[in-house]
Amino acid sequence: MKRVDKIFNTGDLVTVKNRPADERFCIIGFKTNYNNEEIAILKALYHDTHIIEKPVKELTTLLIKGNL
């Protein structure tokens, strides 16, 4: 899959808009859903088995805010 939008990349640290702000995730991949919407595959930083999929538009990067 060719990425057009380079706002996020694999390995970026993010939060999800409709989840608690203290839940932080690492992007481990991308895919496109049936509506051609880009979906990020996220792994929770402090939960080894917690993996979710969310639309890229629902993500907020931690790098710009200087939270690292």
Q: Taken in order 17, 27, 34, 49, is the CA torsion positive or negative? A: negative
Look at residue 67 and tell me if it is in a domain: no
The confidence band for 5, taking pLDDT boundaries of 50, 70 and 90, is low
Look at residue 5 and tell me if it is in a domain: no
Q: What are the backbone dihedrals phi and psi of residue 58, each rounded to the nearest 5 degrees, phi first?
A: -95, 5
6 or 25, higher pLDDT: 25
The domain total for the chain is: 1
Look at residue 6 and tell me if it is in a domain: no
Tally Cβ neighbours within 10 Å of residue 59: 19
Q: State pLDDT tens for residues 9-67.
A: 999 999 999 998 889 999 999 999 999 999 999 999 987 789 999 999 999 998 765 55
